[in-house]
Chains A and B, each alone.
Chain A
């Protein structure tokens, strides 16, 4: 049984319109952020959700935790449907499902000492019998994420920390309740190269130690290799391809995935010269008015008539590989 499963998930956001205009238009515009997504994550697995800005990957992560209400579709956690749970039930469940955001400075209260920030979830969920016990748990966690000496870090404020240290605090706070499932939304994107790799390594180690299951959301294909078992590539609110990172890297199927892989700048000039460049023209269309049919068809070099009208379904290609493209029918 998968730990997390979503079925046919749809999320549309209404577009704000000024009042006068709204009086005279019947049609309400909406952003098609997520357009019918299915995936499941097994316990102990890391699924990488890769896409460019506007692909709907962040909305997807928020939907799974029900920080955002889906327009349609169902979400399962540990075999239980959570789509219609009450706010109170969800609050209790969040002990087991946590999220790490991109910008640590924005997700930490600047007036709260970091020890207290990490202790806060324990207070909310009533873990640890008293303050002293909770403090011990926090110190232990600070040690674990390499913020040493822990006693000293406990009393610091976020502004006294470097970017990498702050992200360690955010990770510590997410893991203090011992969750089963963690959504990491561009968790290392804002950090410098040398620090990014430290944090990635930490996340891999913690995963093993705490037996975590990650949904790792990123725009950067190259970082997924070190942490993900499987990768799902999103484009304009749909998953266009899914498979092991090995298959996605070496033999991408969907024309969009091919483009994405060929566009990644490699820190190796010779590899860059060898690489076939399949850069499509144009940019990602506006999700307010997505193209009919396959979302990639306006930029696709292999476009056929059917692509323009009916969106292809995400179908099994072989083994654990799936692709949404008529080329493989």
Chain B
């Protein structure tokens, strides 16, 4: 296992790529991502639709469609996931790495009772656990998320949206995985229920001491939940830093522009900024910074060469040529 700067990395991702193969060429959904997830932290992964955040999340569980080609390395508690066969992955999913999806209705089996979801999950991974013990574990997990034990005999459709998401959370944590990936867990919920669920996720996480990757498009949600935040744009991880650095001292022009375009409820801030244009198509996309066409600070170099991951300080990484000069020697290039 890795210890980085006194922090223990539960998950390490190195030069990770996911390309979807199509008849017209590869769609480079995730292209060269490096990051670590520390123990007990929540890493927020934000970006707009099509930036690759969900692809990255699903890739860690290796549940992508067959057209996806993955390369690079992913280590979970020291184990190399990319070299694992499907059979071995099945043993890890749910036990060591779990996923909470956006829409619990489509990820739960509608004709299976709640208790059967739990017993199946528990007994697949731990065949030594008896039916009764599994039910006990299920009841405890439900209690942790605020659902009464008596609902074990209900079907998923008998739950409201918020309750269903609570149940999904209970199901994902019942085996105490080291890493939970939550992919837009509150996006389909109303704002008050969303606040309830976020509060619950926070409590649960500190209670079971797992790490979490929280994938969302909502910069408000990560502001509340995440310790560190990674910002994705068009398949690149463009900035990675502790939460407050992202909000108050962002460096990448995309992060800056994105933050300015998010509506807030501060009545003294009535300016509505926006980013011109649209994200690029990732089909056959070549070298260069992918934000270049919309970037107010674009330089010639940006369009020709993909920027490196520039390490600003221990915990702050920016993928941008603007900051490369103080670290590399080609200063003429960067300021040109």
Contact = CB atoms under 8 A, between A and B. Distances in A.
Contact of A52 (B49, B160, B191, B263): B191
Most buried by A among B48, B161, B223, B243: B223
Nearest to A51: B190
A302 to B, nearest CB: 16
Interface stretch (B13-21, B31-39, B94-102, B269-277): B269-277
Interface in B126-167: 160-163
Q: How large is the interface on A (under 10, 10 to 19, 20 to 34, 35 or more residues)?
A: 35 or more
B90 interface: no
B273 A197 contact: yes
Interface residues of B, number: 42
Contacts of B275: 194, 197-198
Interface in A245-259: 245-246, 249-250, 259
Given A194-B274, A197-B272, A279-B199, A267 B219 contact: yes
Most buried by A among B163, B191, B218, B267: B191
B237 to A, nearest CB: 18
A162 B278 contact: yes
B74 to A, nearest CB: 27
Given A193-B262, A259-B192, A245 B257 contact: no
Given A193-B48, A269-B224, A264 B265 contact: yes
A284 B160 CA distance: 10
Contacts of B272: 197, 200-201, 204, 226
Contacts of B261: 193-194, 196-197
A52 B221 CA distance: 18
Interface string A260-276: 11111111111110000
B308 interface: no
B192 A195 contact: no
A278 B193 CA distance: 12
Interface in B171-229: 190-196, 198-199, 217-221, 223-224
Contact of B191 (A196, A264, A272): A264
A249 B267 contact: yes
Given A192-B48, A194-B48, A226-B270, A265 B194 contact: yes
A225 B265 contact: yes
Nearest to B223: A269
B195 A279 contact: yes
Contacts of A269: 223-224, 243-244, 247
B92 interface: no
Interface of B: 48-49, 160-163, 190-196, 198-199, 217-221, 223-224, 243-244, 247, 257-259, 261-267, 270, 272-276, 278
24 contacts: A164-B278, A192-B49, A197-B272, A197-B273, A198-B274, A198-B275, A198-B276, A220-B191, A220-B263, A221-B265, A225-B267, A225-B270, A226-B270, A249-B267, A259-B192, A261-B265, A265-B220, A265-B223, A265-B224, A267-B220, A269-B224, A271-B264, A277-B199, A283-B160
Interface of A: 52-53, 162-165, 192-198, 200-201, 204, 219-223, 225-226, 245-246, 249-250, 259-272, 277, 279-281, 283-284
Per CB-CB distance, the 4 closest pairs between chain A and chain B, nearest first, are A265-B220, A197-B274, A222-B263, A192-B48
